[in-house]
């Protein structure tokens, strides 16, 4: 993505309440707000325009991040029909300031955004099938540029459901690889802007420590990775069947070690220097 200057306006001065967001030299605009200010969000003039919208929150059964992605010729009229859905606590919608988005454009956006959310795998999708639309080549190119700007804005508004779980922007060099070892087992990974990626083929202990029951989050994380097929039994250990991104080195190390551990000392480079040593330079 190219560099960008983003302007976020806090309507009430509170970053959690109603916000607008724009990028310099872009015709698009985002409006975001919590469900508690639903009426204020829809009172905005922009809500009468055509566009695409995101309803985000957590699934009440699994607790996982959840999103509904939709399109509408009138944002205001369409999103009112979603008030019976209890999972969402935030709404974000995108419109064009020059009112140049047609029905075909927004249907195209919906289909593309849903596919991107599926590929990212960060959230439960409440609507897995977009209406989609075919566009002339020139229109398609214009909409791709428009969507890139949308993808730049979404994380700044607290929505990362479209950010790839494994960052495509970070390609590790061999010298950047780190290792985490325990009882003859070895895991390999590299740092990313979101945390750390543990590479496919990395090993983890088979059993958790007794002490881990005091802080069961690491047990829950291991079990979830097993359920998702990303961590599997391989003889006397567990093995990562896919690259997995963790929010921190300590979270990754806890899964590998089977209990609480300081990731800054557990992860080391090829010279044996820990992350703690490398960061203290």
How far does the chain reach from its first CA to its final CA, in angstroms?
31
Please give the average per-residue pLDDT across 151-170, as a whole number.
Answer: 79
Residue ending a domain, choose from 156, 185, 220? 156
**Percentage of the chain lying above the pLDDT 90 cut:** 63
Question: Does residue 179 sit in the same domain as residue 149?
Answer: no
Residue ending a domain, choose from 156, 186, 214? 156
Residue 181 lies in a domain: yes
Residue 166 lies in a domain: no
- Find out whether 96 and 51 touch, Cβ atoms under 8 Å: yes
Question: Does residue 116 sit in the same domain as residue 190?
Answer: no
Question: Does residue 135 sit in the same domain as residue 188?
Answer: no
Please give the average per-residue pLDDT across 228-233, as a whole number.
Answer: 93
Question: Does residue 150 sit in the same domain as residue 203?
Answer: no
Question: Does residue 23 sit in the same domain as residue 135?
Answer: yes
Residue 19: the pLDDT is 96
Domain of 11, in residue numbers:
6-156
Question: Does residue 143 sit in the same domain as residue 182?
Answer: no
Q: Which of 133-137, 250-254, 263-267 has the lowest mean pLDDT?
A: 133-137
Q: State the pLDDT confidence band at 169, using cuts at 50, 70 and 90.
A: low
Question: Does residue 75 sit in the same domain as residue 199?
Answer: no
DSSP-derived secondary structure letter, 70: E
Residue 130: the pLDDT is 64
**Residue 65 buriedness (CB in 10 A; 0-12 / 13-18 / 19+):** middle
Residue 11 lies in a domain: yes
Residue 3 has pLDDT above 90, yes or no: no
Residue 68: the pLDDT is 95
Question: Does residue 271 sit in the same domain as residue 140?
Answer: no
Which of 217, 183, 177, 218 is CA-nearest to residue 199?
177
Residue 59: the pLDDT is 82
Residue 162 lies in a domain: no
Question: Does residue 82 sit in the same domain as residue 208?
Answer: no
Q: Which two tokens stand for residue 185?
A: 């087992």
Q: State the pLDDT confidence band at 114, using cuts at 50, 70 and 90.
A: very high
Which of 227, 208, 206, 230 is CA-nearest to residue 217?
208
Residue 22 has pLDDT above 90, yes or no: yes
To the nearest 10°, the Cα dihedral for 110, 116, 122, 127? 30
Residue 48 lies in a domain: yes
Residue 8: the pLDDT is 95
Distance of CA 119 to the CA centre of its chain: 11
The span from the CA of 16 to the CA of 253, in Å, is: 33
Question: Does residue 13 sit in the same domain as residue 138?
Answer: yes
Residue 212: the pLDDT is 80
* Between 132 and 90, residue with greater pLDDT: 90
Domain count along the chain: 2
Residue 168 has pLDDT above 60, yes or no: no
Question: Does residue 187 sit in the same domain as residue 118?
Answer: no
Which of 100, 114, 38, 29 is CA-nearest to residue 70?
114
- Find out whether 50 and 95 touch, Cβ atoms under 8 Å: yes
Residue 127 has pLDDT above 90, yes or no: no
Residue 165 has pLDDT above 90, yes or no: no
Question: Does residue 110 sit in the same domain as residue 199?
Answer: no
Residue 168 lies in a domain: no
Residue 161 lies in a domain: no
- Mean pLDDT over the full length of the chain: 89
The span from the CA of 221 to the CA of 69, in Å, is: 27
């Amino acid at each position: 993505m190219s560099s960008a200057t983003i302007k976020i306006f806090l309507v009430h001065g509170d970053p959690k309440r109603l916000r607008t967001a724009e990028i310099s030299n872009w015709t698009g605009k985002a409006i975001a707000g919590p469900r508690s200010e639903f009426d204020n969000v829809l009172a905005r003039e922009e809500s009468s325009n055509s566009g695409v919208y995101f309803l985000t929150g957590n699934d009440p059964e699994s607790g996982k991040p959840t999103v509904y992605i939709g399109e509408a010729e009138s944002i205001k009229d369409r999103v009112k029909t979603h008030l019976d859905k209890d999972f969402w606590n935030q709404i974000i919608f995108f419109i064009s300031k020059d009112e140049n988005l047609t029905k075909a454009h927004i249907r195209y956006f919906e289909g593309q955004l849903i596919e991107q959310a599926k590929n990212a795998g960060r959230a439960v999708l409440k609507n897995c099938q977009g209406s989609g639309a075919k566009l002339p080549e020139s229109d398609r190119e214009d909409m791709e540029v428009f969507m890139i700007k949308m993808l730049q804005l979404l994380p700044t508004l607290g929505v990362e459901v479209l950010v790839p779980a494994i960052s495509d922007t970070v390609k590790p060099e061999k010298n950047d690889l780190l290792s985490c070892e325990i009882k003859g087992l070895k895991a390999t990974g590299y740092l990313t802007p979101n945390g750390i990626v543990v590479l496919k083929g990395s090993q983890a202990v088979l059993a958790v420590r007794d002490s881990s029951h005091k802080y069961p989050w690491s047990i829950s994380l291991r079990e979830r990775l097993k359920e998702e097929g990303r961590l599997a039994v391989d003889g006397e250990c567990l093995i990562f069947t896919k690259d997995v991104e963790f929010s921190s080195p300590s979270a990754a190390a806890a899964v590998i070690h089977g209990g609480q551990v300081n990731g800054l000392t557990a992860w080391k480079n090829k010279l044996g220097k820990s992350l703690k040593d490398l960061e203290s330079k």
